[in-house]
């Protein structure tokens, strides 16, 4: 019995699967499987829900500041959560091409990113930030009754 190769999966089926994986996988795993997966991962449909709440991975910890944080945490780098840069957050928001319906940002998210999100996703005055733990949730309000 012949096995189907994942890279040969029809793009519409793959897109259906990728819309269900998390933001972290879309950024750090899926693009590196093969070229077709990378191409499909750029489809705005994959980026309707952008969730930074469960981000575990961080950029390489190279600065003195990062090393001092690791030392303060008993040498355990997994306990260090560095703030994400505005440009990094904006670049991920851009992947939705204005189609994001739910964005869960880090609690320490600068106002600049919130304004950018509102402009890019056409949220305008309907931005409704809700603080939940260390996350600010921003989404389109449902105007249907």
Residue 63 corresponds to which tokens in the numbers above?
Answer: 């600065």
pLDDT in tens, 1-29: 567 676 677 888 888 888 888 888 888 88
Which residue would you say has higher pLDDT here, 69 or 51? 51
Per-residue pLDDT at 56: 52
pLDDT in tens, 117-141: 777 766 544 444 433 333 444 444 4
Sign of CA dihedral 87, 90, 94, 96: positive
SS3 state at 51? strand
Phi-psi region of 74 (alpha: psi -120 to 50; beta: other; left: phi over 0): left
Write b or e for each residue in 85-95: b if 16 or more Cβ atoms lie within 10 A of its Cβ, otherwise e: eeeebeebbeb
Residue 41 has pLDDT above 80, yes or no: yes
pLDDT in tens, 55-93: 654 444 444 444 555 445 454 444 444 556 778 888 888
Residue 49 has pLDDT above 80, yes or no: yes
Residue 54 has pLDDT above 60, yes or no: yes
Per-residue pLDDT at 43: 92
Per-residue pLDDT at 78: 46
Per-residue pLDDT at 105: 77
Q: Which of 128, 121, 130 is closest to 142 using CA atoms?
A: 128
What the chain holds in terms of domains, given with CATH numbers, is 8-47 (1.20.1280), 48-145 (no CATH)
Assign 142 a pLDDT band (cuts: 50, 70, 90).
very low
d(CA 31, CA 34): 7
């Amino acid at each position: 019995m012949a096995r189907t190769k994942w890279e040969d999966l029809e793009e519409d089926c793959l897109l259906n699967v990728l819309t269900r994986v998390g933001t972290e996988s879309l950024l750090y795993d899926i693009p590196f499987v093969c070229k077709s997966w990378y191409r499909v991962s750029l489809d705005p449909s994959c980026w309707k829900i952008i969730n930074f709440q469960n981000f575990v991975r961080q950029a390489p910890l190279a600065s003195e500041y990062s090393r001092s944080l690791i030392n303060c945490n008993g040498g355990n780098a997994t306990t260090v959560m560095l703030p994400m840069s505005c440009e990094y957050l904006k670049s991920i928001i851009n992947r939705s091409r204005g189609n994001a319906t739910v964005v869960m940002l880090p609690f320490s998210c600068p106002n600049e990113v919130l304004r950018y999100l509102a402009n890019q996703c056409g949220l305008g005055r309907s931005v409704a930030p809700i603080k939940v733990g260390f996350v600010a949730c921003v989404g389109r309000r449902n105007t249907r009754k």
